[in-house]
């Protein structure tokens, strides 16, 4: 944890970290579907998500490079890198279609 804390603090000092929190292991899935989630409490989750770190970086490659430095990788943890969308993909599609009309 000392290595992780040092990594996190360095990114924070460099102005890269914009937020981050640990996530609880318990939770609930809300759905109006009659089909229950396969693994509850998370939808189709085979791994536990321990938390997230929100970075502000120039591009996806920089995010990948910083994630590759995460000390938790040395202990078998996985790090997933995803861009944050301004709006959900369904709304992006609706906006795109409306602009074409």
CATH topology of domain 2-100: Alpha-Beta Plaits (3.30.70)
- pLDDT tens digits, residue range 15-64? 998 888 777 666 666 656 666 555 554 445 555 667 888 899 999 999 99
Q: What is the pLDDT of residue 42?
A: 47
Q: What is the pLDDT of residue 10?
A: 92
Q: Return the closest-CA partner of residue 6 out of 48, 17, 36, 76.
A: 17
- Give me the mean pLDDT over the 3-10 stretch: 89
Per-domain boundaries in the chain: 2-100
* Global pTM value: 0.61
- pLDDT tens digits, residue range 75-93? 888 888 888 877 777 887 8
């Amino acid at each position: 944890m000392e290595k992780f804390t040092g990594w996190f603090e360095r990114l924070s000092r460099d102005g890269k970290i914009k937020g981050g929190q640990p996530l609880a292991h318990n939770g609930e899935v809300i759905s109006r579907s009659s089909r229950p989630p396969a693994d509850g409490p998370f939808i189709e989750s085979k791994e536990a998500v321990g938390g997230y770190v929100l970075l502000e970086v120039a591009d996806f490659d920089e995010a990948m490079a910083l994630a590759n430095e995460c000390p938790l990788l040395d202990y078998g943890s996985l790090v997933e890198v995803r861009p944050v969308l301004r709006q959900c993909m369904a709304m992006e599609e609706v906006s795109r279609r409306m602009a074409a009309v």
